[in-house]
């Protein structure tokens, strides 16, 4: 039986955001039953990617866009002879459901060889186009939005990795618990086998999880990493410092 830690109870102590804008601060996953979702056919084939189509006009070289021709087509179809600068453009075309649509049927030949993706003006020289493009605002980075939650990512690979946390494709053959990644399942399997491959070099203890060994090593450390800003105490783990703060020694006024 899965333990109750599967349901997060405290959302206020979120870890600092590293890359996400975090406009939607917390995920609401409690209504999701991983096994139920797997059993109802929520496999990877039914997981759709929600693309930010507002950005597509900027991706004028997006040859395998999941929604081709949703933006002014000539801007997406540079001249075959035009050596346009593709550097700011993500060309990830592994969308899966749209494989093989690289030949765009709707690309009228622009009047010039070098076409502006923003206003469809064409120029005969790349320098002229580059000079013209400076008049437009900078191209925003493409964002990849999760269909199941408000999370956004800057790359398709990161989004695919995140979607696995919804689909949970790795299922424990012993207890049926599902995980997002195979190595998470392997770590879980150790709870069944009792394997503890991570040994403490200072004592006889061994752990099934490297993170738990790391936390254990803090008990041997002379200096605690996490210091209370309101008192001289230090703790080996941030969670202990957090509990200490919640217990009354809050940091600051």
Name the site residues for DNA (rule: CB under 7 A): 2-11, 13-15, 18-20, 27, 29, 91-94, 151, 156-158, 160-162, 165, 177, 179-184, 186-188, 190-191, 205, 207-212, 214-216, 218-219, 233, 235-240, 242-244, 247-249
Minimum distance, C-beta of residue 175 to DNA, in the bound complex (Å)? 8
Minimum distance, C-beta of residue 45 to DNA, in the bound complex (Å)? 14
User: Phi and psi for 38 in degrees, rounded to 5?
Assistant: -65, -35
Minimum distance, C-beta of residue 195 to DNA, in the bound complex (Å)? 10
Nearer to DNA, 59 or 208 (CB): 208
Nearer to DNA, 143 or 191 (CB): 191
Q: Using CA of residue 9, residue 13, residue 15, residue 17, what is the dihedral sign?
A: positive
Minimum distance, C-beta of residue 242 to DNA, in the bound complex (Å)? 6
Minimum distance, C-beta of residue 64 to DNA, in the bound complex (Å)? 10
Nearer to DNA, 11 or 125 (CB): 11
Length of the chain: 253
Nearer to DNA, 92 or 107 (CB): 92
User: Phi and psi for 193 in degrees, rounded to 5?
Assistant: -85, -20
Minimum distance, C-beta of residue 41 to DNA, in the bound complex (Å)? 20
Nearer to DNA, 36 or 247 (CB): 247
Nearer to DNA, 145 or 158 (CB): 158
Nearer to DNA, 5 or 80 (CB): 5
Minimum distance, C-beta of residue 185 to DNA, in the bound complex (Å)? 8
């Amino acid at each position: 039986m899965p333990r109750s830690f599967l349901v997060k109870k405290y959302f206020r102590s979120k870890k600092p955001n590293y890359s996400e804008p975090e406009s939607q601060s917390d995920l609401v996953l409690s209504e999701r039953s991983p096994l139920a979702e797997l059993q109802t056919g929520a496999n990877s084939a039914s997981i759709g990617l929600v693309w930010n189509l507002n950005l597509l006009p900027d991706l004028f070289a997006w040859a395998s866009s999941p929604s081709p021709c949703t933006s002014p087509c000539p801007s997406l179809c540079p001249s075959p002879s035009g050596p346009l600068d593709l550097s700011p453009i993500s060309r990830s075309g592994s969308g899966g459901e749209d494989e093989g649509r690289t030949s765009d049927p709707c690309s009228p030949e622009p009047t010039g060889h070098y076409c502006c993706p923003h206003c469809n003006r064409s120029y005969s020289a790349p320098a002229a186009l580059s000079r013209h493009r400076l008049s437009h605002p900078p191209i925003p980075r493409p964002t990849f939005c999760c269909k199941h939650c408000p999370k956004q990512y800057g790359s398709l690979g990161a989004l695919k990795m995140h979607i696995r946390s919804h689909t949970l494709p790795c299922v424990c053959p012993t207890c049926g618990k599902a995980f997002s990644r195979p190595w998470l399942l392997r770590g879980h399997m150790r709870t069944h086998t009792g394997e503890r491959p991570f040994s403490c070099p200072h004592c006889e203890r061994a752990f099934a999880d490297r993170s738990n060994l790391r936390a254990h090593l803090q008990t041997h450390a002379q200096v605690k990493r996490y210091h209370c800003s309101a008192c001289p105490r230090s703790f080996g783990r941030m969670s202990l410092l957090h509990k200490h703060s919640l217990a009354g020694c809050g940091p600051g006024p």
